[in-house]
Amino acid sequence: MKIDIQTPSKSYPVYIGKNVLESLTNHLQTNDYTKLLIITDETVGRLHLDELKKAIPQSYDTYTYIVPSGENAKQFSVYESCLSYSLEQGLDRKSCIIAFGGGAVGDLAGFVAATYMRGIPFIQVPTTILAHDSAVGGKTGINHPLGKNMIGSFHQPEAVIYQTEFLKTLPQSEIRSGFAEAVKHAFIADEELLKFLMSTITDLRAINNEDLVFFLKKGIQIKADVVSKDERETGIRAFLNFGHTLGHVIESSAGYGKVSHGEAVMTGMVYALYLSKEILDLEFNISDFELWIKSLGYSLEIPDGFDFDQAFTSMTRDKKSYSNKPRFVLLGKIGNPLVRELDKDVLEKVYFT
Ligand code: NAD
Ligand code: ZN
């Protein structure tokens, strides 16, 4: 199954489903890269590197660089060592980087590709549910000790090869984290998809492949549509931040890695739904929604000791906020987002108690 992504700077295919690694083989056979560098993390490398390598034509000079798993991949020191390794192995401007892993590896490897010799091609081979979001759209980057994703670049991949068999080894917590972004895509663009998810997905350990491919494909399409209209986030791309204003501050205040990105965003989405009801009279049964996501294992908890004033201060500091008021994506209707800067009083009124 193939989706074509069109952005002002580049068009590229996303292949999704079982056995789509053959599309990687085809792509590599029809392009003449001088060398390949696979960047993967310890976990994905251990579990799936052999499978990936089978799809790479023998004729290629292929190198592999293994980075720490998770957010630790997105450090300056790791970025620098990827560049050093690339120089040592003689990668040139016609070489190609393969990002093999979740969003963290994708962001790191994409940023290496964006900056090595002023930019070389790269291919995303995502292995998490969350990466249906992160692998598409061309945002790449690493973290700074003073802030997450603060150093980065826009660099679109040559192709995205999303083989769903790789997802089978994901731990529960990572499935929960990624699924939240799929729910987010439904909220901002597709009420039918939201109904489908709420009626079909009752156990995150038992999603059948057909349903999985269906909602991942829809999510990719929604993200692609937004990105094609606003590649560099000057306008509607901000809708993709639904749930993220509070989500980001929960994630960072708990300490990265303690509450996953998606779990924090899920809590942030519930908050944004209550705000939407308060401010825009959103017609949506939030209680039913909360029951559903709790049954899937989301806790919807605010970290201990994290009161409204702290949350407000952090939300105001968010890099997406231009004035001293936090910016929120709200829903007038399901599938109908808009961005508002909100005053402290309404934010406090709706805050979880
Ligand atoms: P991740 O890449 O950190 O992966 C999560 C964990 O799962 C890691 O420990 C990893 O080793 C492991 N893992 C990955 N694939 C696996 C598999 N198939 N089986 C077993 N374990 C596996 O996290 P993520 O949730 O995929 O991505 C989060 C990152 O994505 C964050 O850094 C975030 O900033 C970034 N992100 C980027 C964008 C974008 O547009 N560029 C969008 C959203 C998120
Ligand atoms: Zn997100």
Residue nearest to ligand 1 atom 14, measured at CA: 102
Nearest CA to ligand 1 atom 27: 103
**Phi, psi of 274, rounded to the nearest 5 degrees:** -65, -40
Position 204 scores a pLDDT of: 95
Which residue's CA lies nearest to atom 32 of ligand 1?
Answer: 104
Q: To the nearest whole number, what is the mean pLDDT of the chain? A: 93
Q: Answer with the residue of higher pLDDT: 60 or 310.
A: 60
State the pLDDT confidence band at 246, using cuts at 50, 70 and 90: very high
Q: Annotate 249-288 with DSSP letters as a single string.
A: HHHHHH-BTTB-HHHHHHHHHHHHHHHHHHHH-----HHH
Ordered domains of the chain (ranges, CATH): 2-169 (3.40.50.1970), 177-350 (1.20.1090.10)
Left, alpha or beta for 41 (phi > 0: left; psi -120 to 50: alpha)? beta
pLDDT above 70 for 321: no
254 pLDDT higher than 80: no
CA–CA distance, 221 with 342 (Å, rounded to integer): 30
Q: Is 130's C-beta closer than 6 angstroms to any atom of ligand 1? A: yes
Where does the pLDDT of residue 96 fall: very low under 50, low under 70, confident under 90, or very high at 90 and above?
A: very high
3-state DSSP call for residue 77?
helix
DSSP class of 170 = -
Lowest-confidence region among 39-48, 150-159, 261-270, 316-325:
316-325
Res 235: pLDDT: 82
Question: Which of 104-118, 245-259, 270-284 has the weakest average pLDDT?
Answer: 245-259
State the SS3 of 215-257: HHHHHHHHHHHHHHHCCCCCCHHHHHHCCHHHHHHHHHHHCEC
The region of weakest confidence among 121-135, 177-191, 299-313 is: 299-313
pLDDT for 89: 98
15 lines ligand 1 (CB under 6 A): no
Known binding residue 105? Answer is yes
- Dump pLDDT digits (tens) for 46-71: 999 999 999 999 999 999 999 999 99
**Look-up: residue for tokens 């994506």?**
329
**Angle, in degrees to the nearest 10, between helices 172-189 and 191-200:** 150
Radius of gyration of the chain (CA): 20
272 C-alpha to ligand 1 centroid (Å): 24
Q: Is 248 in the pocket of ligand 1 (CB under 6 A)?
A: no
Is residue 323 scored above 80 in pLDDT?
no
H helix count then E strand count, the chain: 13, 11
What integer is the mean pLDDT of 167-186?
Answer: 96
Separation CA 179–CA 212 (nearest Å): 10
Least confident of 144-153, 188-197, 228-237, 278-287: 228-237
40-44, 72-76, 117-121, 343-347: which has the minimum mean pLDDT? 343-347
Output the six-digit token pair for 90.
């003689």
Indicate whether residue 177 lines ligand 1 (CB < 6 A): yes
Which of 76-85, 144-153, 177-186 comes out lowest in average pLDDT?
A: 144-153
Closest-CA residue, ligand 1 atom 21, reads: 170
Q: Report the C-alpha gap between 224 and 3 in whole angstroms.
A: 9
Compare 319 and 92 and report the one with higher pLDDT. Answer: 92
Nearest to 221 by CA among 16, 3, 8: 3
The β-bridge partners of 135 are none
